[in-house]
Amino acid sequence: MSIDFERISKRYGELTVVNDVSLHIASGEFFVLLGPSGSGKSTLLRAAAGLTGIEDGRILFDRRDVTHVPARQRGVGLVFQHYALFRHMTVGENVEFALRVRGVKHADRARRRNELLQLVALDDFTNRMPGQLSGGQQQRVAVARALAHEPAVLLLDEPFGALDAQIRVELRETIRQVQRRLGMTTILVTHDQEEAFALGDRIGVMHNGRLLETGKPEMLYRHPATRFVATFLGAANLFLGELSAGGLKLGQAQIAAADSQRASGHGEAVTVVRPEDIELADSEARLHSTPLCSGHVQSLSFAGGVQRLRVQLPGDSAVQSAVNLANAAPLVLEVTRNSSEQLQLALNAGQRVAVGVRRVHLLPTPISSFRILADSAQDASQLRNSPLLNQLATSMRARIIDSTASSGEGNVTQGVAVLAADSRAIPTIAAALARGTQRLLCIPAGAPLPRRVVICTDSDAARPAALALVASVMRHLHAEATFVSVQSPAAPRGDVAGSFRRLLDTRAELLESHGLDVRTDLQVGALDDWLARLAASEEQTLIVLGVAGDAAQIEATLTQRFQPLLGGRCPVLLSCSHAPVATLGAAGAMASAQEPDQQLIDGAE
């Protein structure tokens, strides 16, 4: 039985615990929902079981809408972390319970009970009481009971959490064998990466109520799309690299990035290096991989088949971390070595080593870092401490770097430039654009965290970069998402139809390219009036503005069309595409509210 979650949202008061989650699980698939505590994974599972209602969206089993179908009628089996066995019943009676309440005859109940207990290797335990079983045995009984009424879907809510390591391994092997034998669609909720890798045909990683990424275990591990997934699925070293036609530059090292999804292009890139992809040697000449720099062993620990090390790089190393370092601490690498590497080179704490890199992966995120543009330390501190920047940097695990707005110093062409949204915003943006900046975040003083995100694009040329930025932001904010097109009341019927098509195309593009879904809405009215109302609104909103053209054209567009937004109450995230736009002129890219390509996206995350 296939399972579809369509735009699922669940709120408890002001708190959104599941935010616009869309997911398809194929019939017979073993799907693992992975994430930290509070990420929304158990809430989504309980919604599938019918134990929790939802505010928005639909749940479909084999394309049948079961959103409002009672739990008992959904045909699911559910296993919790804490067994929930009836203590006054024997093992056999526990397994038979679901059949008894359904009126199944005694002989049929006994036959089904014996089949299931044999399936979970407990066929000799029929007459024992739960208190006479170990934790692993009790959980096997819980699995057998969940399967008694032959459900088409098995839902497992952290069923191994209370068990010791060896029993966990044995029980998950049992469940996997049972699932494969019965061909049952199964969803497992866990925060244990090892369990996810061992059991899942596919894994979905949740964070802050959002489904960040889905894919096969090896693909998510080797080619994650976000910092969170890269660091949650095992250890990872995150660096800021410089991508150019010559390859990837990390510090002073030039490294090939041919196996990366971002092997082409240029600019700052978040570089993921797994601990096992770092090589250590006693000298650079003995490295078999690309030399990175030197360092010294800070600590070593034995972990069975591997050795875990922390290697500290020197303070003058040109290698930059992609995450914030507390108190400007030296960069420390996480390294693992197998037994063969340990035999070839024995290491001790304090020993100097040469560091090489075997393989890298570049994240496809447009937000590599945040670089503050401010004329004073006080202004920089206000921006650094703003709720929006704090939330984005913390959730993304992105680095915040101080630059200067007036002197032109600092590498502001990289990452997202952050500046104050005030009367000086457009001149500051113009200066940054002249130096090659493509993404800027303007934050008004005292701006709270947004509840929604509104995106405006001035042309089709600006849309792809803006959508990529929207997708990155949506993953890290609790906010509503709607794509809105503003259409003039006097527009011909053909233009209105074209606006509808663009709405659907943009939604499909965001879903296909970034795995995120948005609502769509067509508003009728004058664009300038809509922008004025948006600028004056007291609603907690982040505006994402996508514009295309050269620096002078973009400055003219901002001045003539969007200046009210840049000096209003709402923060503005600006995406600039240096693509030629033939229609741009003195009146700006959006010269007329009647033009059908004027689009407003109300997105979120």
Alpha-helix runs per DSSP H in 11-105: 41-49, 91-101
234-362 and 369-602 in the same fold: no
For 535-566, write each residue's pLDDT tens digit. 888 888 899 888 998 889 999 989 988 888 88
Strand locations in 450-603 (E)? 452-457, 482-487, 519-524, 541-548, 572-577, 599-602
Residue 519 is predicted with a pLDDT of 73
CA torsion, ordered 436, 442, 445, 447, to nearest 10 deg: -150
CATH class belonging to 3-222: alpha beta
Packing angle, helices 463-474 and 493-514, rounded to 10: 50
Residue 578 is predicted with a pLDDT of 75
- Rounded to whole angstroms, the Cα distance separating 597 from 462 reads 11
Residue 135 is predicted with a pLDDT of 84
**Structure confidence at residue 408 as a pLDDT band (50, 70, 90):** very low
- CATH number of 234-362: 3.40.50.2000, 2.40.50.100, 3.30.1490.20, 3.90.79.10? 2.40.50.100
407 pLDDT more than 70: no
In which residue are the tokens 């679901």 written? 98
Q: How far is CA 462 from CA 256, 568, 578, 579, 583, in A?
A: 30, 23, 9, 8, 13
Residue 142 is predicted with a pLDDT of 86
Average pLDDT of span 459-475? 84
- CATH number of 369-602: 3.40.720, 3.40.50, 3.30.1330, 1.10.3470? 3.40.50
For 255-310, write each residue's pLDDT tens digit. 876 545 454 567 788 999 999 999 999 999 999 999 999 999 999 999 888 999 99
For 80-118, write each residue's pLDDT tens digit. 877 778 889 999 999 998 888 888 899 998 998 998 888
Residue 257 is predicted with a pLDDT of 65
Q: For the chain, give every domain's residue range.
A: 3-222, 234-362, 369-602
pTM of the model: 0.82
Q: Which residue in 6, 4, 3 sits closest to 517, CA to CA?
A: 6
Q: Which residue in 543, 503, 531 sits closest to 519, CA to CA?
A: 503
485 pLDDT more than 90: no
Q: What percent of the chain has pLDDT over 70?
A: 90
